[in-house]
Amino acid sequence: MKHTDPAKSTEQSQPEPDRGILQPLIDEMTKPKPSPEPAPIPPIPPPPPPAAEQDQDSGGGYNPDHTIPQP
């Protein structure tokens, strides 16, 4: 079993007496933040599809008597 030196562990856990415990946190929060990179320009969407043909068979394409559907 390892024996830890109590003097070393107390030295590491104690904050610097002149800065206090909150000053490092305040310093971290007041640092200037780097400016974020600009968002990429989204691509131009494709044009809408052309209108459907009016003489299409709306019944799913099955034509048992092989006639051309009339509008």
pLDDT digits (tens, 9 = 90+) for 4-58: 555 555 555 665 556 688 888 888 888 888 888 888 999 999 999 887 766 665 6
Q: Is the pLDDT of residue 66 over 90?
A: no
Beta-strand ranges (E) seen in 22-63 are: none
| C-alpha distances out from residue 56 to 34, 49, 50, 65, 68, Å | 59, 16, 14, 16, 9
Q: Which has more confidence, 2 or 18?
A: 18
Q: Is the pLDDT of residue 1 over 70?
A: no
Would you state the torsion angle of the CA atoms of residues 9, 14, 17, 20, taken in this order, to the nearest 10 degrees? 160
The predicted pLDDT at position 4 comes to 58
